[in-house]
Amino acid sequence: METVLDTNKPTQNKPKWLRVKLPTGKKYTELRGLVDKYKLNTICTSGSCPNMGECWGEGTATFMILGNICTRSCGFCGVKTGRPETVDWDEPEKVARSIKIMNIKHAVLTSVDRDDLKDGGSIIWAETIKAVRRMNPTTTLETLIPDFQGIERNIDRILEVNPEVISHNMETVRRLTREVRIQAKYDRSLEVLRYLKANGANRTKTGIMLGLGETEEEVIQTMHDLKAVNLDVLTIGQYLQPSKKHLPVKEFITPEQFKKYEQIGLELGFRHVESGALVRSSYKAQKHIL
């Protein structure tokens, strides 16, 4: 999932480096007006992302498909869990139209997990990418996909439509995966990323959150595991508790530590490493196609 910072919900006493300035700028104001006027659904606004102003200024926005109810109940995620609604087969055109209205240069698509569907939602995923391409031929795409339970024919549908970047988030280190992601598996996610790269993905990408109780050694080991599956792009950010029902923040990682992880990642040979407290999966996404 795309994890964002909800600035409306206080977590615990946050350090000064987590204070967020309200987004400003001509491009942001223009896009905000369009989103409100046409009632467009972006993760940027629904999740109060701290990087919204910066990303929109660059012509980047994130859209979630397949509804807003997830079949999984991850301990870190603020998305509702339950029985999802029926698939909206008009959604591909709606998303494509939103991207056209907002004149988005680089779109990030993400979704809830749909384990209730035989195809895991992969058909709607592929149709959405095709619709965006038809209506917005110059827009580049990143797809932040679920693991599709590791079923290759579902992953293949994403590969066949060939988005510029295919992302799947590890979220945390091996030891904490069962507690943080519950129905997900560390090795299954690694295998998804390996399979994508081995079968022609242009760029593969993942994100992890820190502050859940992981050790430095575990983070570095995760980075080595990701390098072993030929990952291209890694994002590392601070976990923030969406509500009292979710996992607590165990530690606020310092800017110096984030910088250290960035340096380690670059030395390991990742093409891009975004590491910082406010970094989220789609942060600076437009440059990851290069």
User: What would the pLDDT profile of 247-258 be if each residue is shown by its tens digit?
Assistant: 899 999 999 999
* pLDDT on residue 45: 59
With a cut of 70, list the residues of the chain below it in pLDDT. 1-12, 20-24, 28, 38-54, 56-57
**pLDDT value, residue 6:** 45
pLDDT of residue 10: 44
> Residue 140 has what pLDDT?
95
The pLDDT of residue 7 is 43
Q: Where does residue 245 rank: exposed (0-12), middle (13-18), buried (19+ CB within 10 A)?
A: exposed
Element (H, E) at 179: helix 177-181
- Counted residue by residue, the chain has a size of 290
pLDDT for 121: 97
Position 39 scores a pLDDT of 67
By C-alpha distance, which of 94, 78, 238 is closest to 172? 238
Cβ neighbour number for residue 276 with a 10 Å cutoff: 18
Strand-strand pairing, 272-275 and 233-238: parallel
Token pair for 141: 């795409």
Q: CA-to-CA distance for 24 and 9, rounded, in angstroms?
A: 21
CA distance 72 to 250: 23
Q: What is the pLDDT of residue 5?
A: 44
Q: Which residues pair with 236 in a beta bridge?
A: 208, 275
- Residue 163 tokens read as 């988005």
Decide if 71 contacts 116 (C-beta within 8 A). Answer: yes
